[in-house]
């Protein structure tokens, strides 16, 4: 029996509708939530992602702006731009699109953004709040989106054995922290695995919930999945496909066709976690505007 497909696109649309309704109430008070994105260089994937964010903001009734800077922009100039946005009361959310050119210290940039406008949830203050369970933290969009998929799909994590594959500061570590928090979408017993983990498939097979964010196409197969487990695939990878119009197709970190025959529920790629990321950035921007108002 094939796994239940967790439709992240539909859940993202539901969240964006909720955001649009709350945004309309703020706009009626004369407050227009504003997300400003800093884009340094011409990375094609970043350009596509930023355009998607801008479009989603406008559909939600928010203001959105992109400041595009050349790849050779000095670090000091980028930091000065952030300072001006921090001081601009009309800007509620600031997001610096990654990756940055190698001559710019990404950590220095993330620390410069006002934590009250850090809608990516990457500032150390928001990271610390997340670890402490402080509800005022801005949560990183992808892990928060995964938690929403679980909640809105009525998948209980209470007491579940969860395995997170990947230890990045963007997905893996904050995901583990969210799953540990008390309440819906949390209360799990969490193991974090990574590239140095021994006998990874055996550990993954113990999971009731498996979150895979390793960045390698079809990294995990059916041999790493417990029958009936919930599998969340965070990966977005291009693989060659001469039958596709563009010569490639997008796949996840999980071998979807094989795993769906074993798992109880699974997110597809595309159409799963990816759409949730933008929805949660919008939600964070709205929260920032409400708090600043």
Active site includes 53? yes
Q: Over 234-291, what HEC string results?
A: CCCEEEECCCCCCCEEEECCECHHHHCCCCCEECCCCCCHHHHHHHHHHHHHHHHHHH
> 3-class SS at 129?
helix
Of 100, 257, 101, 232, the closest CA to residue 171 belongs to: 232
Q: Is the peptide bond before 270 cis (omega within 30 degrees of 0)?
A: yes
User: Which is catalytic among the residues 7, 114, 118, 120?
Assistant: 120
Q: Can you read off the two tokens belonging to residue 208?
A: 């009731």
User: Which is catalytic among the residues 7, 16, 53, 253?
Assistant: 53
The contacts found for 98-103 with CB under 8 angstroms, 24 or more apart, are 98/46, 99/43, 99/46, 100/40, 100/41, 101/40, 101/41, 101/71, 101/72, 101/73, 103/75
CA gap 208, 221 in Å, rounded: 16
Active site includes 181? no
Per-residue DSSP letter, 10: H
User: Which is catalytic among the residues 16, 97, 181, 283?
Assistant: 97
Could you give the C-alpha distances from 149 to 28, 46, 231, in angstroms and in order? 30, 24, 11
CA gap 11, 17 in Å, rounded: 10
Locus of tokens 């809105």: 152
CA gap 188, 182 in Å, rounded: 8
CA gap 150, 162 in Å, rounded: 12
Active site includes 245? no
Active site residues: 53, 97, 120
């Amino acid at each position: 029996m094939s796994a239940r497909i967790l439709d992240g696109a539909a859940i993202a649309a539901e969240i964006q509708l909720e955001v649009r309704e709350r945004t309309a109430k703020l706009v009626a008070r004369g407050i227009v939530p504003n997300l400003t994105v800093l884009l340094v260089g011409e990375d094609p994937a970043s350009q596509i992602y930023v355009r998607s964010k801008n479009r989603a903001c406008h559909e939600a009734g928010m203001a959105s702006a992109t400041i595009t800077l050349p790849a050779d922009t000095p670090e000091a100039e980028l930091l000065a731009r952030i300072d001006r946005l921090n001081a601009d009361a009309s800007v509620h959310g600031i997001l610096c699109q990654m990756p940055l050119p190698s001559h710019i210290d990404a950590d220095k940039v993330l620390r410069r953004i006002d934590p009250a406008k850090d809608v990516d949830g990457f500032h150390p203050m928001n990271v610390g709040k997340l670890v402490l369970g402080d509800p005022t933290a801005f949560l990183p969009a992808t892990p928060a989106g995964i938690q929403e998929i679980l909640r809105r799909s009525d998948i209980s994590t209470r007491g579940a054995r969860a395995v997170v594959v990947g230890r990045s500061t963007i997905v893996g570590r904050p995901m583990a922290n969210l799953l540990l928090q008390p309440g819906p979408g949390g209360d799990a017993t969490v193991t974090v695995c990574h590239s140095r983990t021994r006998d990874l498939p055996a550990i993954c097979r113990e999971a009731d919930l498996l979150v895979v964010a390793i960045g390698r196409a079809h990294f995990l197969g059916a041999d790493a999945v417990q029958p009936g487990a919930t599998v969340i695939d965070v990966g977005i990878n291009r693989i060659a496909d001469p039958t596709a119009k563009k010569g490639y197709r997008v796949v996840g970190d999980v071998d979807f066709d094989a795993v769906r025959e074993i798992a109880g529920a699974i997110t597809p790629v595309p159409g799963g976690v990816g759409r949730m990321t933008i929805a949660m950035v919008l939600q964070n921007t709205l929260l920032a505007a409400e708090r600043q108002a």
